[in-house]
Structure 1
Amino acid sequence: MVREFKLPDVGEGLTEAEIVSWLVEVGDAVSEDQPVAEVETDKAVVEVPAPVNGTVREILAEEGEMVPVGEVIITFDVEGEPVEPADEGESEPADPGDADPAASEASGPAASTDGESDGEVSAKGGRVFAAPSARRLARELGVDIETVPGSGPGGRVTEGDVRAAAESGGEPAGTETADEEPEPAVRSATRKVTDEAESEADAKPAPADAHPGGAPEAAGRDRTLAAPATRQVAQEEGIDINDVPTDEIRDGEPFVDAEQVRSYAEAQRVAQEADAAAVRQESAAVDATAETPPDTETTAEGEVERRPYRGIRRTIGKAMENSKYTAPHVTHHDTVVVEDLVDTRARLKPKAEERGIKLTYMPFVVKAIVAALKEHPILNSQLNEDEEEILVKRYHNIGIAVATDAGLMVPVVKDADGKGMLTIASEVNELAAKARDRSISREEMQGGTFSITNFGAIGGEYATPIINYPETGILGLGELKQRPVVEDGEVVAKWTLPISLSIDHRVIDGADAAQFANTLMEYLSNPELLLLE
């Protein structure tokens, strides 16, 4: 049975999402909850899990394509259910009980009872084993991909096959003539066998080590005897116990033990990894010779390059626009001398490293902000415009902006007031790493009450940070370095840290911002005060 899978709402009120990458290909076996695709949503890339145990039948969305929520993006052949024929014109299969053994052997050991091998495709139609990039190229070149023989692993149709078919004027390269021996049908990547093994196959499936060049054939029995522990192993390995080859017979029925299950599962994994490696190598070779040129245009003023404004970049833009045009921003600037902070961090850094934690200045800033927010809680608030009330929050979730290749993301350290310095340091490092490799979840970027952005890590002293709406305040940190400071009438070099505090002026007055900044600077200039918090 074919199961359609529609793009779910992986965010809050999401209407569309971009398919970042497919983690499976046509013909791959999948288990329920196994990630099959990466989808870009609001400030994060999330994995979409398979809803069933089965085999990927068709991928219906391209990588980089914007897909509306509710649209079918992939279909599966469900395990244990008959595969629906792709071509309605095909004749009904004969009763397997009446099948001629010789004919069954000639069709290959993996042939299914509905006349179509699992994962197979013929040059006359049926399911096509091809990557989305090859399908896209076929559409661009006007090639019917169902007529293109595949030369890739497991009979996969590659971009090279599509180009060859296009260059031959629509007659796919390698198409057999009337007096040529037709090529065998394409086999599933996980069930391919050598030509020699096919010719020697008999009614009894060969043991797992009989096919050193590829994955062993699936037995495809209707009934198998096995101990409950063995069946548990098969379930853990994601293997149909009726597919495990065996020569042992008990009470007139095939018998399988746990070791045979593990051996078969390992052979399947090795074959799949080999196929995947070959595909990656082939794709890399194609990409090296046929990289997609940038979308450029020559205007009256000169050449311009067009880049899509979507995904995370568009989400960030809309959030910034909403914040800037909703909350009237006012920014308070100041500079704090942090000689003691620099010395304290230098003394504690080796101790933190002994515990496997990288100690930056950020945990000190987080703790100082929490201490200042407790004294000036109006900055830890939100304006509820619908109810016309200000929500002053008594918990402290501090968002920390992280620059990534996809744009600015803001992971949140939850309940920062109840955590120690090293715990905050560890969380900040972990969240920043997850944001940069796009593995961070939506939950880890939600619920902030106040945010920090450290533009000084790149350079610069002051800025006007945009509030992470609906919060009402954000602190920008400039570059920490030695600057000239007047002390007792003398100009001396001191470690200083510029700060830029943006506030929502509907909720926070300028005096509140200045008082908060003064308290914050007191904690940063005397970090020992944090021990009292």
Structure 2
Amino acid sequence: MATEVIMPKAGMDMQEGQIIKWYKKEGEHVEQGEVLLEIMTDKVNMEVEAETSGYLLKILKHDGETVPVITTIGYLGEKGEVIEAAAASETKVVEEKAVATKESPKVEKEEVVEEVKGKVRATPAARRIAREREIDLLSVKGSGPKGRIQQIDVLNYKEDVIKVSPLARRIAEIEGVDLEGIVGSGFNGKVMKEDVLKVLGNGETEETAETQDERIQLVPMTNMRKIIAKRMSESYFSAPTFTLNTEVDMTEVKALRAKVKDMILEETGKKITITDIIMLATAKALIKHPLVNASISEDGENIILHKYVNLAMAVGLESGLLTPVIEDADKKSLTEMVLATKDIVERTMNMKLSPDELQGSTFTVSNLGMYGITHFNPIINQPNSAILGVNTTVDKVVAVNGEMKIKPMMTLSLTVDHRVIDGVVGAKFLQDLKYLLENPVAMLI
């Protein structure tokens, strides 16, 4: 029996994936464990391996297509094996009727299928209807043998909660719009900002669109851009934040780098940067300030204190921003930190990270100093409770023991979630971090 090739769900937040490239063509043989295709998940590229040996009988979704998770995108099987036409044909999205009828839906004859290990147990008819209605089968409770999802289970499935973007919900609250009556245009029927604006009569008219066509260019969002937009909006609208700034004298940090750069280069083959030292100092300071290294539980009832520092590092790409994580950063030496940052930045730039390496952070550092930025308010990388913005170092005239001297000064910008961190807590963390950077030998002891 043919085996389905499924768009995997790599992470709880992943709702869809984009097919980057099929490495096999229809009719070609593939061995179990061999790379079959490459996809883009939430933010990283990921290779999908064949779960069984066989021939690639059919490709349902092609390069460049974006597909919901747990959707069949192809079939593997014996050479010449015929796939059921209904299951292998391209799916078509159908419009749902606005008013439900009292008549029971006509149920097609159910077909019993064997369980595919690691996949949702469902009949072909159930899978087809789930694809048409963009329903995640993981959310559907099966009524068949051993919990197998039947067609009737999918037909009777209803969402318990209206899906709505944070911005759309906020606009609806302000304008008094009832979200229940709005048909969402987003993924899985999610109500978006544009849907609410249409109800308010603020949507773009056809005439306006026509007059602007020649002057604008519509660029479809990539999967990465969509995830960044979603997470940044959720962070911005869910957490009450404020930003604290402090200036740091970077004289000793520059002196330390100059003193150890040749030794570290000889030992590791890598060049130490100012960022490496800032990352190490941040990790050491966080251990002394558990609230700054904390997060809020999903139910919003508890503060989770982490006794370790998983330090995320914001890395900018042409296509967006990734925040790979350095685990147990507080336990690393300066040399180990140099190796860790170089490794993770290199693999990020080459899109060779695994999804796990983008999760589990307790704090994030974002450095825009190399672009000459002197101040900025970074947005918290949820579920963190704070993020540190690193700015450029500028020579300034400062007073030292009553004398005017020129010093390399840098501003640190700490954005905190006020639900967890008060001003005094954030200020004390910055005070200790400032001390470590102005006396870097202290963090090496």
Give the TM-score taking structure 2 as reference length. Answer: 0.68
Equivalent in the alignment of 1:449: 362
Aligned to 2:435: 522
Partner of 2:130: none
Q: CA deviation at 1:77?
A: 3.8
C-alpha contact (below 8 Å) 2:363/2:384 kept by paired residues: yes
Question: Partner residue of 2:60?
Answer: 60
- Pairing partner for 1:492 from 405, 423, 426: 405
1:458 partner amino acid? Y
What are the Cα deviations for residues 478-529 of structure 1, in whole angstroms up to 9, with x where unaligned?
0124233233444432222211000001111111111111110010011011
Q: Structure 1 residues 87 and 394 mapped into 2: Cα distance closer, same or farther (>3 Å)?
A: closer
- Identical residues among aligned pairs (%): 32
- Pick aligned residue for 2:219 from 289, 304, 307: 307
Query: By how many angstroms is 1:87 displaced?
Result: 12
Distance 2:357 2:13 in 1: 18
Match for residue 353 of structure 1 among 261, 265, 268: 265
- Counterpart position of 2:81: 84
Match of 1:366 in 2: 279
Corresponding position of 2:127: none
Partner of 1:343: 255
2:416 to 503, 515, 528: 503
| 8 Å CA contact 1:468, 1:474 repeated in 2 | yes
Q: Which has the larger radius of gyration?
A: 1
Correspondence 1:387-406 to 2 at 5 A? 388-406=301-319
- Give distance in 2, aligned partners of 1:63 and 1:342: 48
Counterpart contact for 2:247–2:410, Cα < 8 Å: yes
**2:30: which partner in 1?**
30
AA aligned to 2:46 is: V
Give the distance between the partners of 1:425 and 1:499, measured in 2 at CA: 21
Structure of greater relative contact order (alpha carbons < 8 Å, 6+ residues apart): 2
Query: Which residue of 316, 331, 337 corresponds with 1:418?
Result: 331
Residue 220 of structure 2 aligns with an amino acid whose one-letter code is: P
Aligned-pair CA distance for 1:334:
1.4
5 Å matches for 1:48-127? 48-78=48-78, 82-84=79-81
3-state secondary structure, aligned to 2:411: strand
Kindly tell me: are residues 442 and 87 of structure 1, through their superposed partners in 2, closer, same or farther at Cα, counting changes over 3 Å? closer
Conserved 8 A contact 1:453-1:465 = yes
Alpha carbons 2:2, 2:83 under 8 Å: kept: no
Q: Which amino acid aligns with 2:327?
A: K
How does 1:127-138 map onto structure 2 within 5 Å? none
Say if 2:333 and 2:444, in contact at 8 Å, map to a contact too: no
- Measured in 1, the distance between the counterparts of 2:394 and 2:411 equals 9
Could you tell me which residue of structure 2 aligns to residue 477 of structure 1?
Answer: 390
Contact 1:336/1:525 (8 A) holds in 2 = yes
State how far apart, in whole Å, the 2-side matches of 1:375 and 1:299 are. Answer: 59
Instruction: Tell me the amino acid that sits aligned with residue 368 of structure 1.
Output: A
Given the alignment, which residue of 292, 306, 309 partners 1:379?
292
Structure 1 residue 385: deviation in Å?
5.5
Shift of 1:2: 4.1
After superposition, the C-alpha distances for 1:172-194 in whole angstroms (9 at most, x for unaligned) are xxxxxxxxxxxxxxxxxxxxxxx
- Tell me by how many angstroms 1:314 deviates: 0.6
Change (3 A) 1:13 1:453: closer
Partners of 2:297 and 2:328 in 1: how far apart? 22
| CA displacement, residues 190-249 of structure 1 (integer Å, 9 cap, x when unaligned) | xxxxxxxxxxxxxxxxxxxxxxxxxxxxxxxxxxxxxxxxxxxxxxxxxxxxxxxxxxxx
Match of 1:408 among 321, 329, 346: 321
Q: CA RMSD in A?
A: 2.3
Q: Sort the Cα spacing of 1:70 and 1:480 in 2 relative to 1 into closer, same or farther, 3 A.
A: same
Is the 1:2–1:83 Cα contact (8 Å) retained in structure 2? no
Counterparts in 2 of 1:3 and 1:332: CA distance versus 1, 3 Å: same
2:369 counterpart SS class = helix
Cα deviation, residue 46, structure 1: 1.2
Q: Quote the residue 1:174 is aligned against.
A: none
SS class of match (1:306)? coil
Deviation readout 1:246-305 (Å, 9 max, x if unpaired) = xxxxxxxxxxxxxxxxxxxxxxxxxxxxxxxxxxxxxxxxxxxxxxxxxxx874495111
**By how many angstroms is 1:64 displaced?**
1.8
54-63 or 465-474: which moved more?
54-63
Structure 2 equivalent of residue 227 of structure 1: none
Cα offsets for 1:330-360 (capped at 9, x unmatched): 1001110110110110111111111212211
TM-score (norm 1): 0.57
Q: 1:464 corresponds to which letter in structure 2?
A: N
Gaps of 5+ in 2: 86-208
Using the TM superposition, give the Cα deviation of residue 70 of structure 1 relative to its aligned residue in structure 2, in angstroms. 2.8
Separation of aligned partners in 1, 2:247 and 2:214: 44
Question: For 1:386 and 1:11, how far apart are their aligned partners in 2?
Answer: 19
Whole-angstrom CA distance in 2 between matches of 1:499 and 1:530: 18
Q: 1:67 to 1:87 in 2, by over 3 A?
A: closer
Contact 1:357/1:422 (<8 A) preserved: no
1:362–1:425 Cα contact (<8 Å) kept: no
2:444 equivalent in structure 1: 531
Tell me, what secondary structure is at the counterpart of 1:479?
strand
Match of 2:141 in 1: none
**1:122-147 deviations in whole A, cap 9, x for unaligned?**
xxxxxxxxxxxxxxxxxxxxxxxxxx
5+ residue gaps, structure 1: 89-296
Q: Match of 1:500, SS?
A: strand
Is the CA contact (8 Å cut-off) linking 1:467 and 1:474 kept in structure 2? yes
| In structure 1, distance between residues paired with 2:429 and 2:83 | 68
Distance 1:342 1:13, change over 3 A: closer
SS of aligned partner of 2:220 = coil
CA deviations over 1:57-116 (Å, ceiling 9, x no partner)? 3322122211122322122343xxx5226899xxxxxxxxxxxxxxxxxxxxxxxxxxxx
